[in-house]
Chains A and B, each alone.
Chain A
Amino acid sequence: EVRLVQSGAEVKKPGESLQISCQASGYSFTTYWIGWVRQMPGKGLEWMGTIFTGDSDVRYSPAFQGQVTMSVDRSISTAYLQWSGLKVSDTAMYFCARGEDTALDWGQGTLVIVSA
């Protein structure tokens, strides 16, 4: 069974750093990319970018370029999404998804709350 298990909810202050994770199981990790999707409260889905797990090549959507960093640790089949200086506007649910063309399977989401 394919599973993408994301790390738990986080409450942070503006300016703090954060890394959330997405641990994959049930398939060959490096065969599929991992994408990250943001969903702000009450809003729709936004594709943040895609990391190709075989070579760690990353394609960021323009709106997120320079705002976040995506990485993987192939040894533990885990993808990461990182911020170096959070903003209140980063408050959202973040989903990881795996895919070949489209997003086949999704994690349960990680809620990030940024508040002073």
Chain B
Amino acid sequence: EIVLTQSPGTLSLSPGERATLSCRASHSVSSSYFGWFQQRPGQAPRLLLYGTSSRAPGTSDRFSGSGSGTDFTLTISRLEPEDFAVYYCHQYGSSPLTFGGGTKVEIK
């Protein structure tokens, strides 16, 4: 099983600031099968990025993804109020599918 470790656990930032979230995998992950989800309080997760850097429909271009192998990054260029949420990385190339533990982006 591929274990995904996200850091930091919590990120405290102000609106307008840049957020950088990291995800490290215990084994190499194909960049074609890596993505990110956003979950706001009381809501279901929502797909943000797939294939490492491709935006899902409705995802703002403020969100970008990069990485390869075991290290991946989600960057939010300028935080908007609706971006304060929990973000999960996800690999879907190796069974079982796995999620990272999440990074909470909170208002400073």
- The answer for the CA separation of A35 and B44 in the assembled complex, in Å, is 14
* Min distance, Cβ A112 to any Cβ of chain B, angstroms: 15
* Min distance, Cβ A29 to any Cβ of chain B, angstroms: 19
Q: Interface range on chain A: under 10, 10 to 19, 20 to 34, or 35 or more? A: 20 to 34
Closest to B86 in A: A44
Tell whether, in the assembled complex, residue B92 and residue A95 are in contact, meaning their CB atoms are under 8 Å apart.
no
Count of interface residues, chain B, beta-carbon cutoff 8 Å: 22
Interface centre among B44, B47, B50 (most CB of A within 10 A): B44
* Interface of A toward B, CB cutoff 8 Å: 35, 37, 44-47, 49-50, 59, 61-63, 95, 97, 99, 101-109
Q: A35-B97, A104-B56, A109-B44 are in contact. List 12 more A-B contacts (CB 8 A).
A: A44-B88, A45-B88, A47-B96, A49-B96, A102-B33, A102-B92, A103-B45, A103-B92, A105-B47, A106-B45, A106-B46, A108-B44
* Interface of B toward A, CB cutoff 8 Å: 1, 33, 35, 37, 39, 44-47, 50, 56, 88, 90, 92, 95-102
